[in-house]
Structure 1
Amino acid sequence: MTDADEPRAFVPVRIAVLTVSDTRTENDDRSGDTLVERLQAAGHILASRAIIQDDRAAIAAALRNWCADPEVDVVISTGGTGLTGRDVTVEAHRDVYEKEIDAFGTVFTHVSMAKIGTSAVQSRATGGVAEGTYLFALPGSPSACRDAWDEILVKQLDYRHKPCNFVEIMPRLDEHLRRK
């Protein structure tokens, strides 16, 4: 058996969930609930959860706070990724990113095309890294959150997923900050 064939143990990651909405509350945040249910069912830890209004500076501040928190490995936001004037989540994420994970949006669009056809072109889902923390911005519908989790994130946030995954490179995400 080669090293590549060796079974790996599951490594839970600590995930914060941010719902971006001017109208949602804890009582009716179905997208946030969908993400929390799925991440916990997969064995991960809900590190934090919040709902914030569609305000670019406030969203970026929340992302930065979680990136600075050593108890948060991943932040998943839902909402504000569309094309309307109030949709500023993508811009807030990009204000924080050190590196963008370009293929995340591409893969999400591919997954969405199979479900909603050309309407997928209206989504601006994005992913990136800042301060050693993964950041993902998903559309605000429960179905989009299910699709992103079930088709992409559940695999990439699982250390056992081969040939590669986000978890195995987590220790190296901020190595540039440790160099002398």
Structure 2
Amino acid sequence: MGRIDENKEFIPVRIAVLTVSDSRSLNDDRSGDVLVGRIEAAGHILAARMILKDERADIAAQLRAWSLDPEIDCIISTGGTGLTGRDVTVEAHRDVYEKEIEAFGTVFTIISMKKIGTSAVQSRATGGVANGTYMFALPGSPGACKDAWDELLVMQLDYRHQPCNFVEIFPRLDEHKRRK
């Protein structure tokens, strides 16, 4: 298991939260609230927050826009990862990814299995990178957001986490686009 190297300085990550829902507003967005609370409690910066309806093109456009914003390092979406016809968040994420982090969905499923058993197969949580920005799509339940943050993202988004973490490779995420 990992550990925190107290000799390293904490580096706050600028995180945008996108809730995908046909029925939620900021007044009743419990999953978004869970993420915002945990992001801020961990010492990170809430860079943006928005709610969009389950429309693939709109979700992908917002992910692209945020991935190009130099004030956003990471995007976490919640909602739209299930199996119904309106669940299009995963497809929108994949429309934008340059690279998918395949193990993210696998590790999230392992975490979920401990909480909800075989019902975990109904989630299509995913992670990837585009334009030097991390992107994660989480299910729309507050419990799933808590689990993903508390058991996976809080560690990988902490520069002090050892043996490795997402933050330490930020400078290299878009190295393939730089001129040699």
Q: TM-score range by the shorter chain?
A: over 0.9
CA offsets per residue over residues 63-93 of structure 1, 9 Å max, x none? 0000010000000000000000000000000
- Quote how far apart the aligned CAs of 1:16 are: 0.1
In structure 2, stretches of 5+ residues that fail to align are: none
**Which letter maps to 1:103?**
A
Name the SS for the 1:58 alignment partner. Answer: helix
Q: Tell me, in whole angstroms, the C-alpha distance in 1 between the residues paired with 2:156 and 2:163.
A: 10
Q: Tell me, in whole angstroms, the C-alpha distance in 2 between the residues paired with 1:104 and 1:7.
A: 27
Find the counterpart in structure 1 of residue 168 from structure 2.
168
The Cα RMSD (Å) is 0.9
**Which letter maps to 2:48?**
S
Describe how 1:79-118 pairs up with structure 2 within 5 A: 79-118=79-118
Q: Tell me, in whole angstroms, the C-alpha distance in 2 between the residues paired with 1:85 and 1:154.
A: 31
Q: TM-score, normalised by structure 1?
A: 0.96
Q: Tell me, in whole angstroms, the C-alpha distance in 1 between the residues paired with 2:66 and 2:115.
A: 32
Find the counterpart in structure 2 of residue 134 from structure 1.
134
Q: TM-score, normalised by structure 2?
A: 0.96
Percent identity over paired residues: 79
Describe how 1:14-163 pairs up with structure 2 within 5 A: 14-163=14-163
Q: Are the aligned partners of 2:6 and 2:160 in contact in 1 as well (CA < 8 Å)? A: no
Q: Tell me, in whole angstroms, the C-alpha distance in 2 between the residues paired with 1:141 and 1:6.
A: 33
Size of the aligned set, in residue pairs, is 176
Q: Tell me, in whole angstroms, the C-alpha distance in 2 between the residues paired with 1:107 and 1:10.
A: 24
- Quote how far apart the aligned CAs of 1:179 are: 2.7
Find the counterpart in structure 1 of residue 178 from structure 2.
178
CA offsets per residue over residues 92-149 of structure 1, 9 Å max, x none? 0000000000000000000000000000000000000000000000000000000000
CA offsets per residue over residues 151-177 of structure 1, 9 Å max, x none? 000000000000000000001001111
Moved over 4 A (4+): none
